[in-house]
Amino acid sequence: MGRKARLGSAGLKTIDGRKLIALRYKPKKGADLSIVLYFDPQTFHHVMTVYSVIMASGLAVGENSEVRSARMDPSRYRIEERFSNFKAIGGLSLPSHYDLRFTRELSGYSSSEEWEVTVTRVMNNPDLDPKNFEMP
C-alpha cells in the first residue's frame, strides 16, 4: 500500500536571488499542509524545504464580538529548512550547514525563531566496540 501522496513540479522559483527547481509534495492526509522542496538546478542538491499550514480558529459561542472576531483569524505556521555548504563525504555529497526557521502568526501576533547547525566532523563507518551495545 502506497502513501498515495502527490508530487508535482512548481517550476523554477527565485529564492534569495537564486533560481531553484521547486517541487510540491502533497500528502494524502493533512490536506491543509503545504510542502515545497527546492533543488539546485546544476547539482540537484536538496537546498531547502518549506512546510506551511493554515489552521482555521474555532468560534467561541457567547463571547463579545471583539473576542469572536479575533478567534476567527486563522493561525499560520511555517517551517523553513535550508541546507548548504555541501561536501563530499564517503562518496556522498552532504550539507555541512543546516538552518531551521520557524514562524507563527496568531490573531495579529507574529513570532519567529531560528536555529543553525554547522557540522565540523563526520565519521563514516567508525569502529564500534560491541560492548557498547550490551545490556547490563
By residue range, what is the domain housing residue 26?
A: 6-133
DSSP letter at 107?
T
Domain count, the chain: 1
CA 13-36-90 angle, 5° bins: 95
Q: How far apart are the first and last CA of the chain?
A: 40
- CA-wise closest residue to 12 among 36, 35, 33, 34: 36
- CA-wise closest residue to 81 among 102, 96, 110: 102
pLDDT band at 61 (very low <50, low <70, confident <90, very high): low
User: Could you tell me which residues come within 8 angstroms of residue 1 by beta carbon, excluding any fewer than 6 positions away?
Assistant: none
pLDDT band at 126 (very low <50, low <70, confident <90, very high): confident
C-alpha cell at 133: 551495545
Q: Classify residue 1: in a domain, yes or no.
A: no
pLDDT tens-digit profile of 77-121?
A: 999 999 999 999 888 899 999 999 999 998 778 999 999 999 998
Q: Can you say how many angstroms the Cα of residue 82 is from the centroid of all Cα atoms in its chain?
A: 8
C-alpha cell at 23: 517541487
Query: Would you say residue 40 has pLDDT above 80?
Result: yes
Average model confidence (pLDDT) for the chain? 86
pLDDT band at 2 (very low <50, low <70, confident <90, very high): low
Query: What is the four-CA torsion angle of 23, 10, 111, 85, rounded to 10 degrees?
Result: 50
Query: Would you say residue 4 has pLDDT above 80?
Result: no
Alpha-carbon span 103 to 112, nearest angstrom = 4
pLDDT band at 71 (very low <50, low <70, confident <90, very high): low
Q: Classify residue 91: in a domain, yes or no.
A: yes
Residue with cell 505556521: 77
